[in-house]
């Protein structure tokens, strides 16, 4: 009796518990069968052939089929011109503020029976050349080395041709000596002044002064000459015959109605060509700085005067026009830049609000994010761009990398409902290079199928909760 009481208690399955286990086993078998025939869980798939009103043709992606797919005509949308133009492009501004330029004097046919009047300029006294602003002077040192070689910069070294321009205040600046005003002085007076300055600065004053370039005193020659231009006055006097010869000589058809006119100090002088060629004294008329010589075939003295007025007005209006043109150019560029910025801002705002008509590609199936990918402006987009730029890459846990499709409907109205499914098998990583070459077209659908394990798991999750909880609840009761 005691043994019976102390013996271990053995449990035997009750009839109800055995039925529950058998029921669960049957449920699992049913789930597998239902999952295989997709009775409970249904998902999208690419089915070749005809069905549901759509004719599907599956084409595997190869180098040849990618070339064939890319032949579909498509022109990417363009950005507005405001993104391509710059403010300076085409922003040239004409000279509007200069006003009407003075007209050149026209030639008139003179009367042969009316002799041109001779009005020669007054004689110019002989005087030495005076250094002026713009002239280039040179200080030449002795051949032996001495303390003067300590001067660098403005003092020229031995055999050097470096010149030094007389500045607008009429002076040259010598290091360790200072500014020395030499404008208006002759060469002799300038040498004496520089000698004193060098002695005061305790430098060896042995030097010679030369003028390398003559720029301060000039004479302009124009009209009926071979080469109109400006001639400098140097240490030697400049005579009228020499000036005309340097300008290419006189070129007139009839000397009887032609003359040489000289504008000097507000006065206009006239030498008829017949008198000029007949008189050596007139040919040796000495010119001075500021003279304007004009050879005219018109006997009217007033017409030559208008020529010189024109030159003065032309220079004045040109200078004024440059300033106004620069101002107008800056204003035009600023307006263009503001206009371009406003156009770009408006376009970007419309883009954010979805008001612009864009071309899209759609990503669906087992992708990280089901979305639409806008095709870029002004370039082609590839399948790889859409998969990786849009954040809709293949889902690593649920997507079947061997079943990636690009679905493209036929553009031929006679083939309405026909779809070509370009199939990419990405289970081989080398095939991903085809994705970088496959060009997308508007309304393409990129579809990634689910792998078989994912499909079975989703089916099981849908049917097992209700089938398991009902028998268990009955067994407990």
Per-residue pLDDT of 389-423, as tens digits, reads 866 678 888 888 899 999 998 877 667 778 999 99
Higher pLDDT, residue 441 or 48: 441
Q: What is the model's pLDDT at position 24?
A: 57
- Taking only the tens place, the pLDDT of each residue in 124-148 is 888 889 999 988 888 776 655 555 4
Q: What is the model's pLDDT at position 5?
A: 34
List CB contacts of 470: < 8 A, sequence separation 6 or more: none
Q: Residue 442: pLDDT band by 50, 70, 90 thresholds?
A: very high
CA distance linking residue 219 with residue 287, whole number of Å: 8
User: Taking all residues of the chain, what is their mean pLDDT, rounded to a whole number?
Assistant: 78
Mean pLDDT of 156-175: 69
Q: Residue 471: pLDDT band by 50, 70, 90 thresholds?
A: low
CA distances from 72 to 231, 410, 439, 441 (A): 73, 10, 9, 8
Angle at 347 (CA atoms; ends 345, 352), nearest 5 degrees: 95
Q: What is the model's pLDDT at position 66?
A: 93
Angle at 270 (CA atoms; ends 275, 106), nearest 5 degrees: 110
Instruction: Inform me whether the pLDDT recorded for 117 exceeds 80.
Output: yes
Instruction: Inform me whether the pLDDT recorded for 425 exceeds 60.
Output: yes
Instruction: Inform me whether the pLDDT recorded for 109 exceeds 70.
Output: no
CA distance linking residue 232 with residue 247, whole number of Å: 12
Q: Residue 153: pLDDT band by 50, 70, 90 thresholds?
A: very low
- Taking only the tens place, the pLDDT of each residue in 357-368 is 899 999 998 888
Closest by CA to 288, choosing from 216, 185, 222, 228, is: 216
Domains of the chain: 35-77+358-460 (3.10.560.10), 136-213 (3.30.1950.10), 218-299 (3.10.560.10)
Closest by CA to 312, choosing from 102, 3, 42, is: 102
Closest by CA to 104, choosing from 330, 383, 397, 305, is: 305
Mean pLDDT of 28-40: 54
Higher pLDDT, residue 290 or 17: 290
Whether the CB-CB separation of 169 and 176 falls below 8 Å is answered with no
Q: What is the model's pLDDT at position 169?
A: 87
CA distances from 169 to 121, 182, 194, 428 (A): 31, 10, 17, 85
| 3 state SS of 291 | coil
β-bridge mates for residue 127, sequence order: none
Q: What is the model's pLDDT at position 287?
A: 93
Closest by CA to 175, choosing from 153, 156, 144, is: 153
Mean pLDDT of 198-203: 82
Tell me the three-class secondary structure of 381-439, residue by residue: CEHHHHHHHCCCCECCCCEEEEEEEEEEECCCHHHCCEEEEEEECCCCHHHHHHHHHCE
CA distance linking residue 448 with residue 393, whole number of Å: 9
Q: What is the model's pLDDT at position 141?
A: 64
Parallel/antiparallel/unpaired status of strands 208-213 and 218-223: unpaired
């Amino acid at each position: 009796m005691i043994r019976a009481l102390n013996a271990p208690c053995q449990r035997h399955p009750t009839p109800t518990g055995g039925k529950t286990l058998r029921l669960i086993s049957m449920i699992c078998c049913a789930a597998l069968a239902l999952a295989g025939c997709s009775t409970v869980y249904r998902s999208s798939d690419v089915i070749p052939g005809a069905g549901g009103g759509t004719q599907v043709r599956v084409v595997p992606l190869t180098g040849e089929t990618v070339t064939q797919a890319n032949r579909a005509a498509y022109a990417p949308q363009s950005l507005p011109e405001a993104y391509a133009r710059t403010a300076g492009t085409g922003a040239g501004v004409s000279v509007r503020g200069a006003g009407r330029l003075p007209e050149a004097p026209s030639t008139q046919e003179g009367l042969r029976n009316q002799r041109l009047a001779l009005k020669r300029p007054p004689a110019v006294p002989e005087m030495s050349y005076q250094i002026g602003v713009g002239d280039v002077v040179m200080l030449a040192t002795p051949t032996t080395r001495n303390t003067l070689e300590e001067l660098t910069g403005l003092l020229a070294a031995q055999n050097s041709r470096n010149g030094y321009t007389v500045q607008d205040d009429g002076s040259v600046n010598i290091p360790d000596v200072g500014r020395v005003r030499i404008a208006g002085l002759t060469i002799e007076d300038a040498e004496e002044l520089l000698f004193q300055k060098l002695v005061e600065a305790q430098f060896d004053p042995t030097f010679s002064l030369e003028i390398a370039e003559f720029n301060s005193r000039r004479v302009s020659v124009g009209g009926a000459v071979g080469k109109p231009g400006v001639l400098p006055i140097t240490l030697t006097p400049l005579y009228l015959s020499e000036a005309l010869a340097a300008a290419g000589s006189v070129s007139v058809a009839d000397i009887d109605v032609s003359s040489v006119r000289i504008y000097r100090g507000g006065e206009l002088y006239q030498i008829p060509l017949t008198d000029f060629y007949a008189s050596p004294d007139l040919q040796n008329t000495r010119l001075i700085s500021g003279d304007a010589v004009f050879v005219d075939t018109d006997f009217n003295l007033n017409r030559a005067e208008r020529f010189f007025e024109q030159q003065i007005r032309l220079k004045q209006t040109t200078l004024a026009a440059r300033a106004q043109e620069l101002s107008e150019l800056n204003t035009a560029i600023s307006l263009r830049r503001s206009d371009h910025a406003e156009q770009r801002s408006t376009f970007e705002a419309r883009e954010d609000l979805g008001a612009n008509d864009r071309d899209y590609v759609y990503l669906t199936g087992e992708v990280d994010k089901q979305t639409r990918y806008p095709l870029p402006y002004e370039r082609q987009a590839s399948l790889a761009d859409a998969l990786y730029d849009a954040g809709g890459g293949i889902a690593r846990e649920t997507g079947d990398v061997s079943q990636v499709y690009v679905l493209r409907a036929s553009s031929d109205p006679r083939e309405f409902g026909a779809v070509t499914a370009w199939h990419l098998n990405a289970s081989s990583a080398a095939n991903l290079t085809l994705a970088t070459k496959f060009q997308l077209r508007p309304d393409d659908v990129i579809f990634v199928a689910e792998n078989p394990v994912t499909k079975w798991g989703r089916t099981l999750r849908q049917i097992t909760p209700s089938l398991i909880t009902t028998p268990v609840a009955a067994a407990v009761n």
